[in-house]
Structure formats: C-alpha cells, structure tokens
Structure 1
Amino acid sequence: MPIRRLTVKNIQAHAVSLSSTAVLLLGLTGAGAAHAGGNVCGSPFVPTPVLHPILPSPNFPQSDGAVNCFMWQTFVYLTWPALAGQAGQPDPNASYGSNNPTVWETFRPHNTVFLPHGAKPAPWGNAKAQLALFSARGLKKPLPNVRVLNSTSKKFRAFNSGEAANLTETQQAGGGVLVDQNGQTVYYEMLMNQTEFNYIVNNTLYEANAQNAFAKSTGIELPTNAVEVKPAWKVLSAAELAAKPVRFHTAQALLPGQSTPVTVGLVGLHVLVMPDNSTFEQGFWATFQQVDNAPLQGSTPTGTYSFYNVNCPQCPVNTQGQGNTPTQVVQVFGTTSAAQAVNQAMQQAIVSQNPQSPWQFYQLINVQWPTSGQPINKAGMTVPLPNGSPNTNTLMNPVLETYLQVPNMSCLGCHTNASAAGGGAFGSSYSFLLGHAKTASAGALKAKPR
C-alpha cells in the first residue's frame, strides 16, 4: 500500500489555501476541519495534523511547533487501526479509535528479530515469527491479536562495555519496576517498523559479529522513515474497563508465566522516527502519555490517577517500593506550551469525530529533535555519537523513566551511547535494539543493553 504524504510544497503549490475542498481531501471532519487554518504548528505552511493515516513530510520550517505537529500526525498514523493481514499498514476505511490492533502493534517485537545464535528472522508479516514467544507459554500456536509481555523494566539488557564507559551510574540503574495504584506491575515492549526491519535483515545486522563488522567497515545509519516504539502497558481493573468511554487504548496480553490473556491499557509510548537522515540525522524523539497517569509536581492533585494516591501526599514520590507496593509518581517536567496547543487541537478533533475514542485521553509531552543535524554515515564511528544540538536536553516520560526525572536527562542524551553488538564501541545509530543481536557461534552475547 503506497504511503500518502502531506508536504509543505503541496500546500504552497495550491496556495489558494486549505479551502473547504482541500480540508475534505485531507480527511478532516468536524473539529479537525476547524483547526485546519490555525497556527498550532507555529507556521501557516506547516499542516495541522489530520485524523487520517498520513505519514507527514519533514519539509518544514524548523521549530518546536512544527516538529510537534509532525509527531502528532505520526502518532495518528501509528495508532490507526491496522489493515488485516498487512503488518504495519493502516486500514484507510477503519474508524480512528476502534478497538482493533493499531499499525504499531503489528510491528515486529525486537525479540523476534534478534534470535538465539544470530539466526535469521522470519520474513516480515510471517505469522510464525512470534511462535517461539507463545511456545514459551505452553501454547502450540500464536493467539490472534494477543501481545506477549515479558519485561517489567524499560531496561531490557545490561549495558555492554562500550556503552557503560559513557553512561553514568544513574543511567545504568535506569531499570526499576513501576506498580500502579491497584498493585499491578507495568510492562514494556520494543518494536520496529518494516523499514528498520528490512535494513537489519538486508545487512545481516541480526547477527552480532556481522553487525560489528558492518559498523566498523561501513557504519550503521538507520534509514529515513525507520521507526521504533516503546510502549508501557498496565493491567486494567474492572472499574477502568467499565468507564464510558474507556480512557485507555486496550489490548489482550499474556503476562509472564500465564497462558490466559488479560486486558491491558496503554499508559505511555516512546516514538523514535528517522524523518530524513540527510538533515535530521539524530531523529525525532517523541513521548506520549495517558492523561490520568500522574499529577504534575507542585500542582494540587485532584481526581483519580493510575500512579498517584491523592490520599497519601506524604508518600515518597518517584521511589521504587518493595514487591507490589504502589509507586507514588509525579511528573517532574510538564508538557510544553507548544505541545499543549497541538494536544488541545487534536483532542478536540478526536472527540468531534468519535466521542468514544480512547485517543482523546492521550497527550504529547514533548519532542526532542536536532537543531543542527550532524552526519553519522561514517565507517567506524564510536560512541558517544553527536547529539545534533537538540532543542532540549531534558525529556522523560513519568511511566517510562519514573526514577530518572532529573534535569539534563533525555532520550537522545542516553541513546548517543548505544553501541553495536559484538564488542567495541561502534555506534548503532542511536538504537539500543541492535545491541540485542547474538553471535552465530556462542548464542547470547555478554552484557547486552536495553
């Protein structure tokens, strides 16, 4: 299915402006159409996101507002219902917010790409790719539309020597378990889109020694339009499921040690997009959250939160407890004003189109992006890779980096140290996923990161 792009050049070429006819062509309806002429994106030449599965173009004036709109349009695309039988492709005839697997949920989990003994992964879209995940739960075949959750920490592996040399002890301790107010543990995944999958397979980067040799001789650079996502899920209570509308995007999932699915709700999502590796080589790093997660530090909490007890203001915050003791979470760094503008516009548009859509209860916290992109397409580049002078040095999600919410901690700041598998300190294009590759001869490598 061809990708439809909405570019600045298109808008300028038809500068009769976004008339009502153009609005209909873009798929805007209701409140969405009302925002088409607005300026939430910081420029009249930057298209306001629309409720249609369109991948945006990075051809726009560089500003926080423009990048926020780019990532909200990307979010719509990624969270659009997937086309049945076509992994990673949206169903243009589906209704946004229908409770079907989304585009990103049909991406490939990292542990179906980086296999024991560096084995070649099954082709994209092959249902057998996840067979081993279900077999480990005692099931003979994959269950349709059921996720297999294993990790209770965003830190999926130990840092290797090249990474550890450049990361602080605080960052190395960046694991930790998060528990909601119902005593339920939060689970995490890592997935990649077909563009990144093809790059890995075509260059044999799924095997550690081959990956290391490629990094040394050619240099690893994720291609334009490569996408990685890291979702955070919590088990939903009967009360949360009974809400009208349900305030979470839900999925069926197998928890560790279980063979019967439970209903989980999405509470956070990291998105890394390589929009154009000739101008934004360091990528766009966006993080979204469900609006009921936790109060902003310094505010007066009211209502009900997933990760904060309003009746226990004396409870220590952002501190890991023992066992299934609920974590008292506050969001230390709030949503930026530029992000709030597009959040409000998109939430209103979503409600106008589908008042039952759970996506009205999600918001962008911020996007980290390079203001001066620096090339990384050189053989043998070692970590830390250049950071491209990001627009901010601080970006965290309170349910993905609960215990790391301090100034100058960020996605890109950490990922500049991501190194290739196979030893040494060759850069892996800011992706910790590649470090999961294993050797063909000895199975799992020693000390592989998150």
Structure 2
Amino acid sequence: MEGNSEIGSGGHVAYLLNTYPVPSGTFIRREIAALERRGVQVSRFAMRAWDGGELVDPQDKAEHEATHYVLTQGGNALGKALLKAATSSPAKFAKALVAARTLSKRMGDIVRPLAYLAEAAYLEQKLRGSGITHVHAHFGTNATAVAMLCHLLGGPPYSFTVHGPDELHEAPFQAYDLKIRHASFVAAITDFARAELLRIGGYEHAPKIDVIPCGLDLRDFSEQRSATEEPHFVCVGRLCPQKAQRLIPEAIAPIAKENPDLRIELIGDGEDRALIEAEIEKYGLERHIILSGWADNRTVRERILAARALLLPSFAEGLPIVIMESFALRRPVISTFIAGIPELLDSQCGWIVPAGSIPRLRRAIEEACLASPKTVAAMGNEGRSRIEARHDIDRSAALLAERFARSDSAPQDPR
C-alpha cells in the first residue's frame, strides 16, 4: 500500500492490541480519541477481548463494541487465511515465514509464532480495500509480531509503542531488533524506554525510535479542590506483584497504631488480592486499608480528589498513567525510583523511595501525613504544571499523527 501524507488530517489507521479494552488501559482509549479529534479515522483490532470480568467503565464498553476481535473468527477462518497467503503470494509468504522462524527461535516456541502468522494473514486480508494505510500496535509483544508479519505479507506499514516493564524484561524472547528493523518507527513512552530499546535493538535504529509520552485529556481533570488534611491515601492499579501493594500493610502498621484515622483505599483487582487480604488481617488493619475493586474513570478521579496523596509502591512500571492523573488533579504522589517514574516524580511534587524498602516507604507515608496544607498544595501545583507541559494527550496525538504521515510516505526497509 502507498503511504498517505495526509494522515494527520483524515487518514485511516488501525490500532492493534493483544487485549482491548482493559480497565488499566485507558491511556490507549484516550490516545485513539485524541487522534479521532484530529480527523484521523481509527479502526480497532485486538486478538481477544478482556476476560477479567465485566467491564465497569461505559467508555470501555463502547470500545468493546467498536473492536474487531481476530481470534473470535475461529481456527478455520485463520487457517484458510494462512493457506490463501501461502498460495497467492508465495514470495511474501516466504519472507514472513522467515521472520516467524526467527521469532520461534527467540521464543523457544514453535506454535505461537505460527499462530501469529495465521493471525497476520487474516489481518492482512481483512485490511485489503479498507483504506487503512498504517497499523499501530501498543506493547512490543505479540500484537507487534502480528503487525510485523502482516506487513511482510503485503499489509500496511506498522509502528508500535513500548511502555515496559514486562515487555522490556522479556526482551531476549521478543526479537526487538527484527521488529524495529521492519517498523516505520517506534514510540517509547519515556527516555528510559527509548534507552532500553537502543540497548536491546541496536543504536543504528536511533533515528526511528522517538519518545512520544502517554497523555491525559486535561478537560477530564478540570475539577480542582484543596486536598484533605486527613491522612487518607489512594492506590490505583491491578493487584499484582509488580505493583507491590502487598508491602502497604507492613509499611503502615506502626503508623496506624499512632494514627487511628489513617486510611488507604486500594482501587483495582488481580491475582494478589488474597495475599493482600492476608497481610491486612495479619497486621489487624481492616479499618485502615479498604479494597474497593475496579472503578470507572470518573470514580477514580473522585477518589484521588478525596485523598491527600496517591500511593504506588511498585517494583516494576513503565510510567504509570495514574501518577499523571494524580498530578493533573493536583495531588502529590508517593512512588518508587524505577524506570520512567523519576522522569516525572521528584521531591518537588511528592516522595520517591527505593522500590522494596519498607522503612523508606513508611517514612514517606509519615511525612505525607504530617505535611502542611501549603506543602501539599505546592507539590500538587507542581505536578499539575508538569502534566500540562509534558503529558497533554492532544500534543502526543499530534506527534503520532505527524509520524504516521512521515513514516508511511517513506521507503520501507527491503530486508
């Protein structure tokens, strides 16, 4: 397909995800909406729908209805697409098969890369005649593998966004050098992620790896109010080992003995729920730590506004969107010195501690409890200023749209 130099003012792109929508993936939904406001038509494709329970947010429910799911087509449809690709364009199929074999060797798995090839064949045929001139994937894992193979089979140019942490931790199995080589460009959400991609994929790819931050629609964060003087905190995210919510009970147990009004609300759910509940019971903190489950975006914003600060004691992250949301609502943040977090958070807008250090986490919570209203307000204002300067979704969407147009009109790597 030929590139479309007018993609920023009415072009048509496909967004390709592994699972979409998901409660923790609102940043993708916002990005799509911002592109559509710029006149870019976006078609949603995903391998599968979220199976973690009923979607809570009405906007996620709408996105589910708007998404075409590849795996729901069934094995027969994917097998027919694979056979058609092999027989109708044998040279392109051979090129894609070589890339699939490389993926197989890196992953130590024969079956999954062949499944990716079948999914890519189906997608390439689905996109024919659609007017779609570019495919963009989020996360550099299987969706990007499918986008790459689709391109090698004759489909549109592709790009992908890398967030971390899991996709970077799995780098030896992901063949990033291959995925970057065939891509039009790669978006890294932080300088940290870009540096990791250069290390993993090779510095020769530096010109095609851009930092394009995730962002917020600041119109959704216009409500402002003073932070509570009560020691109330909120933690938002999937309950999982990476987010390290299990550390919170031990960290606050001594504080709670001296401060009966201490409250920490955990919004989210996940595989660590039972472990966290056991830790809460162990330290007798049932009155102090509340597990609320998933909530829609409006409720999350309301709970952040009702808190003194956001608490996120993560072991592994990219750059959490909820930190941006807290800052946009002028609430300081307590989090950890990992990955891209220090690019946004420092002592001017919150507390940043070593990951896994319960004493340092406890000290930060104590300091947040004791901070004066003036200090909390100043930190919140600084956070808001940083979001306005660095994480406006319309600005990020403009960068993406321009990159789509520039990349799609450029000659593609023939290798």
TM-score range, shorter chain: under 0.3
User: With structure 2 as the length reference, what TM-score do the two structures score?
Assistant: 0.23
Q: Which has the larger radius of gyration?
A: 2
